[in-house]
Structure 1
């Protein structure tokens, strides 16, 4: 069974910092393994074959299916922690971290293949991720980093 405790803690921290309303976590969702919800933004995390897939729901209730796909749970954690922290940093006026990584282009150690217009599959060893731009470029720099290092990066300048 997957341990969602790190993501649950991260969601609670970043969603509250961003002042999201009605923040909750549920493993009783009919169409996903776990749902990180608020009135403003929600994430449904599900598995399909060997992929971990993220669906997002905006503040109007519109669902974006297959917003991101990852070959393993740890990559999913990295992506969600980065994404939630970026939303919260923006909400509190902290300096953004993504533009600096994006300006470097794709990380040299990562193979990036455009599979559809604006959608890239990233591969580094056995790890794979499918993301839209600009998230693919940014995430290529996070792929090889440990989760703890990403957690430290996103907290810079806010604690």
Structure 2
């Protein structure tokens, strides 16, 4: 939204760009196959390797522009539960490299609604972390056309009940 001062000064309002996190089912499957392969052969993960847990899935965010300024998160969760979003710093090549713990970004984004909360109550989050996480994504977008994330669903949260977007404005 533009302010009255912007309109009075003749400045056009910046267009918000809402980007949707999309599950990368093929990459999630590759990571699940890695876990299954290790279990089947009795091998251990590589030192520092981060294996996908059963309640996690890989999502991606595609950036049509690289010069972005973070605006806000738009997250809706039907029911109760906890959703954790962790950014991954690597440019993904799952056929060549495994996900390593050092490639996970901080802070993580956590959204939740407790089991006793009314279904229409707003989601809770750590606002300062969410602001910093959004700004970090915008910084990485300067050098990326796509970024990957681990979404973890806990305490009753399910992927089918989640809508998650992040809003940016083009840098002026």
Q: Which is helix-richer, 1 or 2?
A: 1
Normalising by structure 2, we get a TM-score of 0.25
TM-score (norm 1): 0.27
Between Structure 1 and Structure 2, whose CA radius of gyration is higher? 2
More relative contact order, 1 or 2 (CA 8 Å, 6+ apart): 2
